[in-house]
Structure 1
Amino acid sequence: MRDLFKNVRFWLLIILVILSICLIHPSISDGKFQTNLNFGLDLSGGSYLRMKPDAMIIGVDLPTSKEESVADYLEKKLDTTVTPVYYGGEERYEVRKIVEREKLEEILGDAGGHLTYYDLGITKETLDQTKRILEDKLNMLGVKDIVVRTMGDKYLVVDLAGVNLSDAERIVSSPGVFELRIETEGGETKHILYGDDILSVDPMPARTGYGDDAPWGAGFTLSEKGADKFREATVRYGAVDAPERHPISMLLDGKEVYSAPLSRELASHMRENKSYGLVAQTGIGEEGKKRAGDLIIHLSAGALPVRLSIDMSGQVPATLGEQFKKQIGLMIVLALIAVSLITGYRYKRHEIVLPMLITTFSEVIIILGFASMPRIGWQLDIPSLAGIIAVIGTGIDQMIVITDEVIKSETPTGSKTKKKTKKINAPKREVVRSRKGYERGLSNAFKIIVVSAATTIFAMAPLLFMGLGKLSGFALTTIVGVLIGILVTRPAYGEIIKETMASGR
């Protein structure tokens, strides 16, 4: 057994368990057991909102002039944003409001056209953009424990743990407050304008020069009043003469999201003239492009690409969530007891059963530690904890395979044939214990369990990536558990059982 304490796989398991316990950080506060685990609304109580976009995708056959495109004509007639999109293998149009089919037919018929396709909804790209803006908006409002997910290509679902239904509806519908400020002498800042003075925001990041090394930027246009306010502030506080000493800051809900001085060219221009179109440079490369995309969201002050209407809502009382949490915890304990009874009955050797159970418990601790990592943002819900129970079952199954293969690798003394004979009161069989034989058994076992793990991961992948609601939590837990098992806990258990058998215990 001394060789076990020199084994890297064994110590990797120990280190990860200790690190996971530190991440979970169990403690007692005000007489209550506390951890860093984040629980979903079905375990901690809260509200959920299912929202659908008020938009549609249409196909039209419409003769147009060179001066006016189909999108321009539809925007004028429908008084909303219309974007050409490639949808279903054809060029169609995304309309950011819902218009009855009969009214559309009438509008198109007046221009000699007709409707070729009509469907409520938006493209996946617009849905993902809406999800990202909504997440950013809720984060800027300081809302914790939120999950925004897509359901198919028709709905967005928002889970707000610990928030009642009326507050949830208010939070989702409230706009952000965007503000421009300028730094004055002494490090103070003065107000320039609010977001309602921004007439429009460019929908996508754009380069502010020529070539691949040109910086990225977020473009926006000021209204007449906004341009007057901007020039007045920059002249009054000296930004046109010393731009580096008077940077312009952008704040969303009181939090700074961007700060930079006027460029020399813009400062010189604004001594005598006002500017309507401005561009905030954000840097070069992919990082600069990402920052520009984020800034576009902030400039929109949380405005979504499409209007969302609440299709379904509900809430889970906190007391019911606590009850679910206790029941799931009890189920996990019962699962561990059940597997201990089954493995104990099969092997009747504590030196095999105890390492198996300890390894299984360690695997659960590592999964929970992974879920507690700050940047992961993983909320544990009922499907996720059901995934842990599934991982316990698959883990025990794979450790049984390892144990059986190691036991089979023992060579009976004086035996040269596989023929079995039935003897009454036969003496206990003596075996030759060989580390090479045990390693051969481990190799055979890992060939089996690697294939088993791969099939499980491939089976769970569609649930994870197809946006099938809460089933993705079950799939994520199962995949993470299988990967932790195949990379950490199974190899460690293999070394433990090999050393146990080799020592003759």
Structure 2
Amino acid sequence: MNPIDGVKQNWRVLLLVVFLAFSVVALFVPGGIVADSSVANDSVESGPTNLEFGLDLEGGTRVRAPVTGMTAADIDAGVVSDNGQVDGDRIEEIESTLYTDLELDQADARVTVDDDDGSVSAEVFTDNVTKAEFAGALQSANVDVSEADIRDGVTEQTRTEIISTLRTKINEAGLSGGSVTEQTMQDTNYIVVEVPNMDAAELRKLLSERGVVEVVAYFPDENGNQTNETVLTQDMMASVDPPRQPQGPQGQSRGYVVPVQVKEGEPAEQFQRDMEQYGFLDEGYTPQGACNLPEENGSISFDHEGEQYCLLTIADEEVVDAHSMGGLADSMIAGTWVNDPRFQMGAPSQQEAQSLSVNLRAGSLRAPLDLSPESAQIDSITPTHADQFKQYSLLIGLLSVVTVSGVVYARYTDTRIALPMILTALSEVVILLGFAAMIRMPLNLSHVAGFIAVVGTGVDDLVIIADEVLDEGDVSSARVFQSRFRKAFWVIGAAAATTIIALSPLAVLSLGDLKGFAIITILGVLIGVLITRPAYGDILRRLLTDR
């Protein structure tokens, strides 16, 4: 037979081999095949496979908590004109009134315009304000709103931003297998965070950090009184490098620093102008103006004598570190710093430096989570129990394969039919596992149930093919085989479509573990219909018909 003709006749088998080869590489070759290299990191533990396991099979903590805040949705605020133009000055006016009347930080309130329908919403992200006070502040800004228009919770846009920030924070912290999703129960929207290999206290601390990092200038004003001014915020930073420990002149360590790149142009120029205006490039540059704040009980004390020129690293309103300008002043005075605007944020310990780095890369949480015992649900699974679940899952998987194989062989007693059927069914599982390894899908017990369901439905379809082909006796003719195979394929195609339609709502809706089961089952059905069932047909044709 001409090789080209052989490829044309058996291309479905070759396609199955290609998918199996890619899956084996994704599963077993170190590093595998990663769809997005940004999610692959060195923190993934080495093992016999590249599979990642979720909470059920690895141990860890799951937190389900609502977002702290209140929303006045679809308000009549005069923000959007009749022709659809957004008045930015009007938004700033309303936000400024909220900050002043409710005594809030700028991070704790905002006004947004929905891109789809142009509706305007005002939000506050604190539990220290009542609905009446919120409505009163909006009324002070000439917004037509009443207390009845205020609801608990935040907008969908805010929840989306929180989910994105938490996912980035988990990835930047090297927490492999973590996930962040949203669930809605009894008209309340919850953020669900699952992180393997982390206990409840650690995850609670990670989620309780708002992640607002800034650099504040601490300097004497014209009257000689010490004052503060924010000079560098997260939105002024272009990139963040991993923390490192600089060495002193004699090799002594001097704490830790997080190198950052300030955005070129106006952000860098504004930072340099502030440093010059506040005296950091003249009075603060002298030895007498160096930063030398004392420490008390492990924290920086501002009880001191004399003038101080310090750059304070502040995270979530707590002073992390204080340091002088150092060599930064030299490059600013020389006029070269704005061309390569690098800056180092200080931290006294490696843990705090790592926390700074993670928060800077992920950005600050738009709103805090309500982690109070009355609102949040925190569940933990110990690594010991997770190992037991993993062993039981493997055992159940092997038992299902052995049982199915025995039933198939007992039915046909012909290795030409039974052996390809079993191998084809197992190939679906291998391809699914390879796909999970490639996209770094954290596998849980719901996914294991999906794999078992895929084996069962896959063998059912292969039995339909074999029975239809063999039902009417002699099948030595390739033309007769193809006719019977097409009839069987229409049956399993219709069954596959029904399964996909039935499980699609579970795959889309936020229904916890049911979602993982539905996704794996749907993927298995698609792989079976598009790859493995046609390949099995070609294998049977080659084994049963005259060539």
Q: Which amino acid aligns with 1:162?
A: N
Compute the TM-score of the two structures, normalised by the length of structure 2: 0.64
Residue aligning to 1:54: 68
1:79-137 deviations in whole A, cap 9, x for unaligned? 34131455999644222224333544666788896224232212222111111111212
Rounded Cα–Cα distance in structure 2 between residues aligned with 1:147 and 1:333? 28
Rounded Cα–Cα distance in structure 2 between residues aligned with 1:456 and 1:223? 63
Residue aligning to 1:394: 457
The alignment status of 1:407 with 2:470, answered yes or no, reads yes
Contact 1:178–1:252 under 8 Å retained in 2: no
Q: Which amino acid aligns with 1:100?
A: T
Q: Which amino acid aligns with 1:148?
A: V
Secondary structure, aligned partner of 1:154? strand
Secondary structure, aligned partner of 1:35? coil
Residue aligning to 1:198: 232
Contact 2:465–2:489 under 8 Å retained in 1: yes
- Paired residue for 2:111, among 83, 106, 116? 83
Rounded Cα–Cα distance in structure 2 between residues aligned with 1:448 and 1:359? 18
Unaligned runs of 5+ in 1: 181-194, 203-214, 256-296, 413-430
- Shifted more, 230-239 versus 445-454: the winner is 230-239
Residue aligning to 1:143: 175
**For the structure 1 residues 474 and 239, does the alpha-carbon distance in structure 2 shift closer, same or farther, using more than 3 Å as the test?**
farther
Residue aligning to 2:33: none
Contact 1:58–1:115 under 8 Å retained in 2: no
Contact 1:465–1:472 under 8 Å retained in 2: yes
Compute the TM-score of the two structures, normalised by the length of structure 1: 0.69
Q: Which amino acid aligns with 1:166?
A: A
The alignment status of 1:237 with 2:331, answered yes or no, reads yes
Rounded Cα–Cα distance in structure 1 between residues aligned with 2:272 and 2:162? 25
| Shift, 1:306, TM fit | 0.5
Contact 1:197–1:223 under 8 Å retained in 2: no
Identity of aligned residues (%): 30
Residue aligning to 2:408: 343
Residue aligning to 1:322: 387
| Shift, 1:473, TM fit | 1.6
Contact 2:71–2:151 under 8 Å retained in 1: yes
Rounded Cα–Cα distance in structure 2 between residues aligned with 1:50 and 1:348? 52
Rounded Cα–Cα distance in structure 1 between residues aligned with 2:505 and 2:264? 36
**For the structure 1 residues 324 and 63, does the alpha-carbon distance in structure 2 shift closer, same or farther, using more than 3 Å as the test?**
closer
Q: Which amino acid aligns with 2:23?
A: S
Residue aligning to 2:322: none
- Paired residue for 1:93, among 115, 122, 145? 122
- Paired residue for 2:492, among 432, 444, 449? 449
1:175-190 alignment to 2 at 5 Å? Answer: none
Residue aligning to 1:19: 22
Q: Which amino acid aligns with 1:389?
A: I
Rounded Cα–Cα distance in structure 1 between residues aligned with 2:338 and 2:137? 54
Rounded Cα–Cα distance in structure 1 between residues aligned with 2:279 and 2:500? 56
Residue aligning to 1:115: 147
Contact 2:62–2:194 under 8 Å retained in 1: yes
Secondary structure, aligned partner of 1:143? coil
**For the structure 1 residues 227 and 334, does the alpha-carbon distance in structure 2 shift closer, same or farther, using more than 3 Å as the test?**
farther
- Shifted more, 438-447 versus 359-368: the winner is 438-447
Question: Over the residues paired in the alignment, what is the CA RMSD in angstroms?
Answer: 4.3
Contact 1:62–1:114 under 8 Å retained in 2: no
Secondary structure, aligned partner of 2:160? helix
Q: Which amino acid aligns with 1:130?
A: I
Moved over 6 A (4+): 1-6, 60-68, 108-112, 177-180, 215-221, 249-255
**For the structure 1 residues 314 and 451, does the alpha-carbon distance in structure 2 shift closer, same or farther, using more than 3 Å as the test?**
same
**For the structure 1 residues 477 and 59, does the alpha-carbon distance in structure 2 shift closer, same or farther, using more than 3 Å as the test?**
closer
Rounded Cα–Cα distance in structure 2 between residues aligned with 1:224 and 1:244? 11
Rounded Cα–Cα distance in structure 2 between residues aligned with 1:340 and 1:217? 68
- Paired residue for 2:158, among 126, 133, 156? 126
Contact 1:50–1:155 under 8 Å retained in 2: yes
| Shift, 1:196, TM fit | 6.2
Tell me the number of residue pairs that the alignment of Structure 1 and Structure 2 aligns: 412
Secondary structure, aligned partner of 2:370? strand
Residue aligning to 1:277: none
**For the structure 1 residues 457 and 240, does the alpha-carbon distance in structure 2 shift closer, same or farther, using more than 3 Å as the test?**
farther
The alignment status of 1:497 with 2:526, answered yes or no, reads no
Rounded Cα–Cα distance in structure 1 between residues aligned with 2:174 and 2:265? 27
Residue aligning to 1:168: 203
**For the structure 1 residues 63 and 469, does the alpha-carbon distance in structure 2 shift closer, same or farther, using more than 3 Å as the test?**
closer
Contact 2:13–2:535 under 8 Å retained in 1: yes
Rounded Cα–Cα distance in structure 2 between residues aligned with 1:405 and 1:4? 25
| Shift, 1:16, TM fit | 2.5
